[in-house]
Structure 1
Amino acid sequence: MSSLPLRSILTDGKLVGDNFHDWYRTLRIVLMHEKLIDMIDKPPMHEPINNDDVDAVGSYKKYLEDLMSSKCLMLASMSSELQRQHKDMGNIIAHLKKMYGAQSRTARYQLSKTLFRSMLNVNAQVGPHILKMISLMEQLEKLG
């Protein structure tokens, strides 16, 4: 089921912290390809109460295997420090969103503020000003 070239995208863009949104977008693409996207999109499945229900037990075992595969993909695509922090954690994505989501909000705010306060000075050239504005907009787009 796995495609090594697609998984290599994650190792090329390892999560180091400040690139969370790019990493998360790439992770979602790989998980979609691996048919594991439900592991981060849907709430966790609970162990069946009745162990006599063969279908429920089988689907729960499949869920645990898929959960382990997605966790391994996530951990393999992180820096070694983040791997150590998250290796025993249950919901890695929720924790990472808490850690890095606020940073991107602040960065977006600062970039937006700079963009909206940018003014072309009298007798200044238009070209450099436009390039600065485009750069700010591209940075905002990267932050989502």
Structure 2
Amino acid sequence: MSTPTDAFGFSSSSSSNNNLSLLNIHSKVQLDGTNYNDWMNNIKMPILFEENEYVLKRPLDETDEEKVNPEEMIAYNKHYNNASKVACIMMATMTPELQRHYKDYWLYEMNKDLMEKYHKRALQEKYEVVKSLIASKMKEGEFVSNHVQRMPRYMYRLVKLNMNFDQEL
């Protein structure tokens, strides 16, 4: 007995296995409020692979089934289903506390709220760390080793905040 194949010749069971293994990527980082950028980068990989990134940027508009044509209804159902899948991925990769907070949010609103709360905080923290790094001066009578040991801490924190550095730096 043969299994159905998709447009690329993969069996539907192997295609779903590929999706599951790709979706397992997201479990490496769990959002706890301090790691928004790492978490979002991990979440976006399977979302981009499935071509569902639009659901993060576009709200799902309510529609009246009796007043829309069939193509609009198909588009609405597709958006609804894709948004539900992405919301499940996002919720599954949050701490239980954040899951409780966002359980009644729809995807677009959840993403918008997360960006406002955590992305802006990360940008502010990057600014503060860079400001501290640049303003860091060796104090009178301080050992050079103490001053030099402080620099990697700043750099490590910037790396954790996804700050990109040129190779020459």
Normalised-by-shorter TM-score class: 0.7 to 0.9
Is residue 139 of structure 1 aligned with residue 154 of structure 2?
A: no
CA shift for structure 1 position 79? 0.9
- Partners in 1 of 2:142 and 2:36 — Cα distance? 41
* Cα separation, partners in 2 of 1:123 and 1:11, compared to 1, 3 Å: closer
Moved over 6 A (4+): none
Instruction: Choose 134-143 or 83-92, whichever is displaced more.
Output: 134-143
CA shift for structure 1 position 28? 1.2
1:1-144 mapped onto 2 (5 Å cutoff): 3-41=19-57, 43-48=58-63, 51-90=67-106, 91-119=109-137, 129=148, 132-144=150-162
Q: Which has the higher contact order (CA 8 A, sep 6+)?
A: 1
Instruction: Choose 14-23 or 94-103, whichever is displaced more.
Output: 94-103
Whose radius of gyration is greater, 1 or 2?
Answer: 2
The unaligned stretches of length 5 or more in structure 1 are: none
**AA in 1 matched with 2:132:** T
- Partners in 2 of 1:52 and 1:3 — Cα distance? 32
- Partners in 2 of 1:57 and 1:80 — Cα distance? 35
- Partners in 2 of 1:40 and 1:52 — Cα distance? 24
Q: What percentage of residue pairs aligned between the two structures are identical?
A: 24
TM-score (norm: length of structure 1): 0.81
TM-score (norm: length of structure 2): 0.70
